[in-house]
Chain A
């Protein structure tokens, strides 16, 4: 098992904010829109340095999406920012009609996704966003795993032409990917090569998958771990190549089992190379208040849950 260590922890939203500061300095077309959450989205520096390209829309997310579509018509590169729930379910029709169906180059950037939002509870813990966004024709869906990857993804989507949903979160997490990494949209990242099982993880669950890989190694299981940071377009080739070698798969995500990464992988496998799959995800329920760690444990999204799913799927292989 390849060793992954970290010296620092940071929130993925800070990776977004720092990339926006960089974009503000280097790309005069970038405009940031914010719905009364400037500090939460780490946009204070962008706002201070580019006051004319920072648009405060107030608590009015539908209007924010529409304005972004208009800015895209005028050849700007708008980044809308708010919490993940208000970035998706609250404005689904606006994204569908004014952005995706209208083929607008809008970047929908969503913080505080999933259970790790914590104490604010289920009203804010969106667990359905990946599913909603991946169903929209033309939408690219990205869920990076740590500070560095979020920063790299943010810089990459500014160059990509087309609507993008970028999902990140609130808690501080280990920084274990390279600071100078090249982020390729739609290209899975091989975290660890192995032969017994393919673990496909996205977002905060990638670190859990690495910890699971270490536990499994101690039990004599050689896990291949792949980071699927781009949920759509999905790197089907990487998935099929890995499963052809290992013969079984586990997916791990901070999302409802319906509509998420596991569902996408299940589709790829069943249509191409049916092999057993276990899905580590929220079991079609809402979240609740609690600390991020307590919630991840209660809803079965820890390294131990990935280990359990792996042992089960290896049994199914036989």
Chain B
């Protein structure tokens, strides 16, 4: 295992244990995005764990699909934003690790609340615009869900970003093809997201193996190289919900369900403990 793969494995263990500990949460999407957050927080973003809200001079990440908070909480804790032991408080009373992330709880690393879908891209555009006004050339990243593309505000933001040439913004869509009620194809088909974003004036990169760290790593490197060239950048990242747990993978059924004790143990047996559990 590479160092990055070790981190991703530990983050996935954290996710399983956090959702199991809270007896509810959203493990499927969180597991599927563990590789992306590992690459961002541990390789591609220069950032300060001594948290400053304004993010001046650093790369900034926004989680728009806030229900997969467990993956961000684990990545932030493992990166050093707050004590790893605090992951045990996830979704419990008086915790800074609310069900959906919020700066209201003053958790270092969280800059805006998300949960009600469709809002993160707009917020990311605002920060990217602030960076342009301040001549700060660091990038802004935002992750959205594919089901989230059904929200109208996303397309308002997509239109704006191209029109105003917000080229210091890299957006990711977690294309796992699943949402609460079933597959995105069944519930509300998304059409060709690649063509849609291209038609809106975005630079689009498609990653077919979004759970393969070297492949995703190369895509992020490509996205960074395409920044500051007049277009916002979209990375369509095809992942598998629940990856790599054999009984969770590829089904919407693990979107918002916590594993039982036995299921937790089965899942953990498939994820090497690399950095020590919290």
B-contacting residues of A (Cβ < 8 Å)?
31, 52-53, 55, 57-58, 60, 62-76, 78, 93-94, 96-98, 101-104
Contact = CB atoms under 8 A, between A and B. Distances in A.
B123 A69 contact: yes
B272 interface: no
B129 A70 contact: yes
B111 interface: yes
Nearest to A62: B153
Contact of B126 (A58, A62, A72): A72
B124 interface: yes
A63 B134 contact: no
Contacts of A52: 133
Interface stretch (B76-84, B113-121, B204-212, B219-227): B113-121
Interface in B113-145: 113-116, 118-131, 133-134
Nearest to B54: A75
9 contacts: A66-B120, A69-B126, A70-B125, A72-B126, A74-B130, A76-B133, A97-B113, A98-B113, A102-B113
Nearest to A106: B126
B104 A73 contact: no
Given A55-B164, A101-B102, 10 more contacts: A62-B156, A63-B125, A65-B122, A68-B126, A72-B126, A73-B111, A73-B130, A97-B115, A98-B122, A98-B123
B157 interface: yes
Contacts of A76: 130, 133
Nearest to A63: B156
A32 to B, nearest CB: 12
Contacts of B134: 74
Contact of A93 (B53, B103, B116): B116
Interchain residue pairs A-B with the least CB separation, the first 10: A70-B126, A66-B122, A74-B130, A60-B156, A63-B156, A67-B126, A70-B127, A62-B153, A70-B123, A71-B126
Query: Which interface residue of B114, B118, B126, B153 has the most chain A CB atoms within 10 A?
Result: B126
A74 B55 contact: yes
B245 interface: no
Contact of A57 (B118, B130, B160): B160
Contacts of B133: 31, 52-53, 74, 76
Contacts of A53: 133
Contacts of A75: 54, 56, 130
A99 to B, nearest CB: 9
A115 to B, nearest CB: 29
A114 B160 CA distance: 30
Query: Which interface residue of A31, A67, A101 has the most chain B CB atoms within 10 A?
Result: A67
Contact of B104 (A63, A78, A101): A101
A78 to B, nearest CB: 7
Contacts of A94: 119, 122, 153
Contact of B128 (A57, A63, A64, A70): A70
B103 A103 contact: yes
B64 to A, nearest CB: 10
A60 B159 contact: yes
Contacts of A104: 112
Nearest to A78: B126
A67 B122 contact: yes
A74 B131 contact: yes
